[in-house]
A = this chain, B = another copy of it.
């Protein structure tokens, strides 16, 4: 996935810098310096609209993080590190911190997790749902039935299906158009394709999954077609596991009936 082109680079940069923990003043000051190269408090204030007297505080913050160098003349001059250096700095720092988080969480986590969670669970967000799906794929022993709208059939999912198929799990894939099927046959050679079970209207469709007849997931897109920037499309899912799980029972009934009696294509 490549980066979407940005409509307003300065404010995009400011937004990201703030999310990385900088104050609004510091973020705007850094961006101002980035376009100036170097400048005085007055220069910065003019292009960033940060009150001049507060530029100094912002600089302190940036200087402590190594993002800005200072020339102690009068007037003081400030110099922002290069875009590339700044990006790498953040990347390293965040890498370091996720590693700390990982080891801390590993130590916290009890030894035996996932002792058969009962009931029906809900998940929000496409990436989170994809994560669950991939985890279920990884736990599959025998069979996967997966129906999806094509929007959600990313390379990541296709690849995971391929790896699972290589492990000897049989794949039944539904809901995808002919040309996408052709593209997929290479990655998942043994996959069986089947038609959508019902009219899979594009507005509220999502995905349906069943693994080994005992783990299921259903999702729906809320703003499928008319997604806007202020109101983007969002995916919501429910999942459940275990023979007796109500969601499993219902989906198993549907899938089994249809896969046995329907025409596998």
Asked whether, in the complex, the Cβ of B108 is within 8 Å of the Cβ of A10, the reply is: yes
Known contacts A13-B104, A108-B9; decide if A66 and B124 are in contact (CB<8 Å).
Answer: yes
Which of B3, B35, B90, B129 sits near A109, CB closer than 8 Å? B35
Q: Which residues 100-149 of A sit at the B interface, judged by CB distance below 8 A?
A: 100-110, 113-115, 117, 119-125, 127-129, 131-132, 135
Number of copies: 2
Counting CB contacts under 8 A, is A6 at the interface?
A: yes
Give the CA-CA distance A127 to B72 in the complex, in Å: 21
Asked whether, in the complex, the Cβ of B113 is within 8 Å of the Cβ of A63, the reply is: no
Asked whether, in the complex, the Cβ of B34 is within 8 Å of the Cβ of A125, the reply is: no
Shortest beta-carbon distance, A73 to chain B, in Å?
Answer: 6
Give the CA-CA distance A106 to B5 in the complex, in Å: 12
Asked whether, in the complex, the Cβ of A66 is within 8 Å of the Cβ of B125, the reply is: yes
Interface string of A66-81 (1 = CB under 8 A from B): 1101111100010101
Give the CA-CA distance A23 to B7 in the complex, in Å: 30
Chain B residue at smallest Cβ distance from A125:
B66
6 tightest Cβ-Cβ pairs between the two chains A and B? A66-B128, A83-B105, A13-B104, A87-B102, A9-B107, A69-B121
Interface string of A211-229 (1 = CB under 8 A from B): 0000000000000000000
Residues of A within 8 A of B (CB): 3, 6, 9-10, 12-13, 16-17, 19-21, 31, 34-35, 37-38, 63-67, 69-73, 77, 79, 81-92, 94-95, 97-110, 113-115, 117, 119-125, 127-129, 131-132, 135, 239
Give the CA-CA distance A45 to B35 in the complex, in Å: 48
Which of B69, B94, B105 sits near A123, CB closer than 8 Å? B69
> Can you give 23 contacting A-B residue pairs, CB < 8 Å?
A3-B100, A3-B103, A6-B107, A12-B104, A13-B104, A16-B100, A20-B97, A31-B105, A63-B124, A66-B129, A69-B123, A70-B121, A72-B122, A81-B128, A81-B131, A82-B114, A83-B109, A85-B131, A87-B105, A88-B131, A89-B128, A89-B131, A94-B94
> B residues within 8 A CB of A16?
97-98, 100-101, 104
Known contacts A31-B108, A37-B113, A66-B127; decide if A101 and B87 are in contact (CB<8 Å).
Answer: yes
Shortest beta-carbon distance, A93 to chain B, in Å?
Answer: 8
